[in-house]
Amino acid sequence: MRNVTVGAVQMSCSWDVQENIEKADALVRKAAGEGAQVILLPELFERRYFCQEKRYAYYDFATPARENPAVGHFQQVARELGVVIPVSFYERDGLRLFNSVAVLDADGTNLGVYRKTHIPDDHYYQEKFYFTPGNTGFKVFSTRYGTIGVGICWDQWFPETARCMALMGAELLFYPTAIGSEPILDCDSMPHWRRTMQGHAAANQVPVIAANRVGTEEVVPCQENGGQASSLKFYGSSFITDGTGGLVKEMGREEEGAICASFDLDQLRDEKFEWGLFRDRRPEMYGEIGK
C-alpha cells in the first residue's frame, strides 16, 4: 500500500502579503498536524484577488519564483514539516507575466513551475489583463508522496486538463482556485463548479483536491481603475473527492480552515486496470477535440 493524506486550505485574503502568508502558514501546519502530506493553498493567496479590477500598478506584484515571498517561505515550511506544497503565485519571466504554481517537494526543493493554460476574461475576473497564457503545457510532478498534477482555477473547467495530467501519470489532481459570485450573470456557480471537477475525478479515476478562498472583496472607484466599483464574494466550498468523484471532505462557504483525506495510491492504480477506461480509449477517434 502507498497511503497518502492530502489537505486543502480555505482562507480569506487581505492586501497585507505577510499577513496572508502567516495565515496560510498556520493552516498548513494545522493540516500537517492532522497527517496531511500534500497540502494545497488557494490561488493567488498572497493578496486580494487583484484581477477584479484593471490597474497597471498591479503588474509590479509579479516576481520570478526565486524571489517570490510565498514560494521562499513555504520552501522552508515544506522542508521543516516534510510535506509537499503547491504554491500559487504571480510570476514574472522577463517581460511576460503568468499565473503560476511552484510545486515544492517535502525537502523544500522547487520541482518546477506550471503556468495556467486557460486564462478567463469576464466581468471582475479580468485575468487577460494580467496574465499571458501559460507556455509550460500540462505537467505532473514526482514528489515524495506520489505523482501529482496541478491545474489552476479556470483550468478546472476543461476536461482536457485533467485527462492530460492523468495520461501523464498523475495520481492526484490539485486545483488552487479563486472563484465566487457572478454579479453580471446573477447565478450561483458553486454546484456547477464542484460537479465539473467531480466529473474529472470520476472519468479519470483520480482524486481531486480543490482549495478556494472566502470573504467579500470590494473595489473602490479611483482614477487608476477608471472609476470601477465592484464586489466579489468568494464562496469557499473547498473539497476533496475520491477516485469515483464522490465528495469525501468539504467545507462551507464562509469558514476558514483545512480539510484532509487519505488514499491508497496502489488501490487507485489497481482500480484503473479493473475498469479498463484507459485500456479502451480510442485517441485516433478524438480528432475533433483538437480542432
Instruction: List, by residue number, the catalytic residues.
Output: 43, 116, 153
- The beta-carbon contacts of 184-193 under 8 Å, at least 24 apart in sequence, are 184/122, 184/123, 184/124, 188/235, 190/235, 190/237, 190/253, 193/156, 193/237
Could you tell me which residues come within 8 angstroms of residue 197 by beta carbon, excluding any fewer than 6 positions away? 156, 162, 175, 208, 210, 239, 241
C-beta separation of 258 from 238 below 8 A: no
Grid cell for residue 240: 476533496
Cα(13)–Cα(38) distance, rounded to whole angstroms? 21
Listed residue (197, 195, 159) closest to 175, CA to CA: 197
Question: Where in 67-193 does DSSP place strands (E)?
Answer: 85-93, 96-104, 110-115, 140-143, 146-150, 172-176
C-beta separation of 201 from 244 below 8 A: yes
